[in-house]
Structure 1
Amino acid sequence: MAELVTAGVVVLWAVTVVEVVRAVRGTGTRSLLVAVAALAAGRTLDLDAVGEALGRTTALAAVEHALVVVSAVAVVAFTHRITGERRTVPRPVWVVLAVMLAAPLVDAGGLLPATAEGRAAVYASSVPWLVHWVAFLVTLAVALTAGARIALRNGRLTRGVLGVRLVGLGAGQVLGVLYTALKALHLGVLVVSPGSDVRLVGTAEQAALSSAILLVATGLVVGFAATVAADVATRRRLWVLWPVWADLWPHAPHLDDTPPGRLRTIFSTDARIREVRLVVEIGDALRALTPYVPAHDHTDPVASAAALQLASRRVGQGLPPPAASGPRPAEAGFAARTRELSTLARAWPRAAAVRAQVVPGAEVEGGDDAVAAQVRASGDGPPGLAERTP
């Protein structure tokens, strides 16, 4: 059992570090950070080694339970936030709750037994502690029941990272409700019959609590892993799309004079926004090049890449548009356009070597300079391009 409790604490602190990083980057949620950090701190105080080092005092136990309550309320707040549901609690309720939780502090320096069984006996024989435990367990039961209901109802209808988080939170909160029931049974038996053997109930209670923590933390870690995987996929697409973006840069409107470097683009903090920018600007360049794209096999990515490269050179040299079929229209939707452009980008490096084979007329490209000079002399071609022609 001690190993399970320790494992839960380690996972909680790992998730806390992750949430701190996300909060610093502006991608996290404050309520989730508070929930995980408070629970990690509370469970750390409950470890035997920490209790022995700090002393099992009334104040330490009260702080530990208050942190758990804060965590439960923050989990519900996080669930409300990500599902769009809103609930409010009257301020007097919070005042009464705080007073009841602080009841044992009338003897803040009092020492508690080192064993869980001994502490449970003290709790059951003390009125301030019973008031504290009533407030603690009722608050946990209400908060966790509400959170589990919302999380599981929405988790069944949601896919992806959010669905994983909701299911993990919901299942963990169900086990948390089980913990409150077992703890109430544990204390109730000791109040009615002091000295009873309740070790089995105590073990089940701790198992339910530790399992609930592990389940919630694991669900959050899995959700974070999915988020990281999506971010890595975005940066991989940026790596693939960058050469096309850089080559077609002169043909699309930009606020910058030169394209950012490849590594700078890949490791930017706003990778998702950069991806949108690349896809939109490549699309702008494709539309600008449409009149200059020679006829080619639109089903062949290499042929399409070669045709676009030739069109780019024609525009740069001030040549007139050929008899063109233009590029195939992009598929509807951002995701579809991104997939299409990624396929084109993978073929981009191979296109230069096979332009003459895949695009009819590409083999006469060597005469472009002479044609360009003739165009400049006659005044034909796109306006303003004669001055830019090398």
Structure 2
Amino acid sequence: MDELVTAGVVVLWAVTVVEVVRAVRGTGARSLLVAVAALAAGRTLDLDAVGEALGRTTVLAAVEHALVVVSAVAVVAFTHRITGERRTVPRAVWVVLGLMLAAPLVDAWGALPATAEDRAAVYASSVPWLVHWVAFLTTLAVALTAGARVALRNGRLARGVLGVRLVGLGAGQVLGVLYTALKALHLGALVVSPGADVGLLGTAEQAALSSAILLVAAGLVVGFAATVAADVATRRRLWVLWPVWAGLWAHAPHLDHAPPSRLRTTFSADARIREVRLVVEIGDALRVLTPYVPAHDHTDPVASAAALQLASRRVGQDVAPPESTGPRPAEAGFAARTRELYTLARAWPRAAAVRAQVVPGAGAEDVEGVGDAVAAQARASGDGRHGAGERT
């Protein structure tokens, strides 16, 4: 059991570090950071090694429970935030709750037994501690029940990272409610029958609490992993799309004189926004090049890439537009357009070598290079390096 508790604390601190990074980057929620950090701190204070080092006192136990309550309330706040639901609690309720939780502090520096079983016996024999536990368990049960209901109801409808987080939070909070019920039975049995053997209840409640913490933390970690995977996928698309973007740069309106380097584009802080920019600007260039695109097999990505490269070169050389069927119409929706351009971009480097074979009417003068006129324009603007980057 000690190993399970320690594992839960380690996972909580790992998630806390992740949430701190997300908060610094502006991608995280403060309520979630508070929830995870408060729970990590509270569970750390409950470790036997920490209790021995700091001394098992009333203050230590009261602070630990207050941190758990803060965590539960913050989880509910986070759940409401991501689902759009709002709940308010009268200020008087918070005042009464604070007074009840602080009841044991009449003997703030009183020593508590080292073992959980002996501490439970002390709690059951002390009126201030019973008042504290009633407030603590009632608050946890109400907060966790409300949070679990909202999370699971919305988790069934949500997809992706949000769905994973909601299901993890909801299932963890259900186990948290089970913990409050087992703890109430544990203390109630000791009140009714002091000295009774309730070791099984104590073990069950700790297992429920530790499992709840691990489940919530695992859900958050999986959600973070999904976020990282999505970010990696975005940057992979940026790397693949960059040659097309740079190759067609001269045919779309831009605020900059030349495209940033491939590495700078791929590893930019605003990768998602940069991807939108690439897709939109490539689309603008395709519309400009449509009259110059020769007939070709639209089902072949290499042929489509070769036709666009020829169209780009003809525009640069001021060649009269040929009879054209134009590029195949793009699929509707940003995601579909991105997938289509991604397929085109993967074929882009191979198009120059086979242009004469896949595009009818492509002469030898069209196979010498891609975008020679565009490169010349880039060199004339004083940036030969980016012009070179447009060759395939």
Partner of 1:50: 50
Could you tell me whether the CA contact under 8 Å between 2:294 and 2:359 is conserved in 1? yes
* CA apart distance, 1:365: 2.9
Partner of 2:259: 259
Q: Which amino acid letter does the alignment assign opposite residue 96 of structure 2? A: V
Could you tell me whether the CA contact under 8 Å between 2:307 and 2:359 is conserved in 1? yes
Q: Which runs of 5+ in 2 are unaligned?
A: 369-379, 382-392
Matched, 1:246 2:246: yes
Q: Which amino acid letter does the alignment assign opposite residue 254 of structure 1? A: H
Partner of 1:110: 110
Distance 1:326 1:306 in 2: 13
Q: Which amino acid letter does the alignment assign opposite residue 268 of structure 1? A: S
Alignment partner of 2:363: what SS?
helix
Distance 2:246 2:358 in 1: 23
* CA apart distance, 1:259: 0.4
* CA apart distance, 1:159: 1.7
Distance 1:122 1:366 in 2: 90
Could you tell me whether the CA contact under 8 Å between 2:35 and 2:74 is conserved in 1? yes
Partner of 2:335: 335
Partner of 2:385: none
* CA apart distance, 1:362: 1.1
* CA apart distance, 1:330: 0.6
Q: Which runs of 5+ in 1 are unaligned?
A: 369-386
Show the 5 A alignment for 1:364-375: 364-365=364-365
Distance 2:205 2:242 in 1: 56
Partner of 2:297: 297
Q: Which amino acid letter does the alignment assign opposite residue 43 of structure 1? A: R
Distance 1:106 1:309 in 2: 82
Partner of 2:221: 221
Distance 1:159 1:270 in 2: 23
Distance 1:310 1:246 in 2: 15
Partner of 1:162: 162
Partner of 2:207: 207
Alignment partner of 1:332: what SS?
coil
Q: Deviations over 1:74-118 (max 9, x none)?
A: 000111111111100001101111111111111111110000011
Q: Deviations over 1:313-337 (max 9, x none)?
A: 1111121111222111111011110
Partner of 1:21: 21
Matched, 1:91 2:91: yes
Q: How many residues align?
A: 372
Distance 1:168 1:343 in 2: 36
TM-score (norm 1): 0.93
Distance 1:359 1:123, change over 3 A: same
* CA apart distance, 1:193: 1.2
Could you tell me whether the CA contact under 8 Å between 2:57 and 2:108 is conserved in 1? yes
Greater than 4 Å deviation, 4+ residue runs: none
Distance 1:366 1:41 in 2: 68
* CA apart distance, 1:367: 11
Distance 1:207 1:328 in 2: 60
Partner of 1:321: 321
Partner of 1:69: 69
Partner of 1:373: none
Partner of 1:182: 182
TM-score (norm 2): 0.93
* CA apart distance, 1:55: 0.5
* CA apart distance, 1:366: 5.6
Show the 5 A alignment for 1:108-147: 108-147=108-147
* CA apart distance, 1:164: 1.1
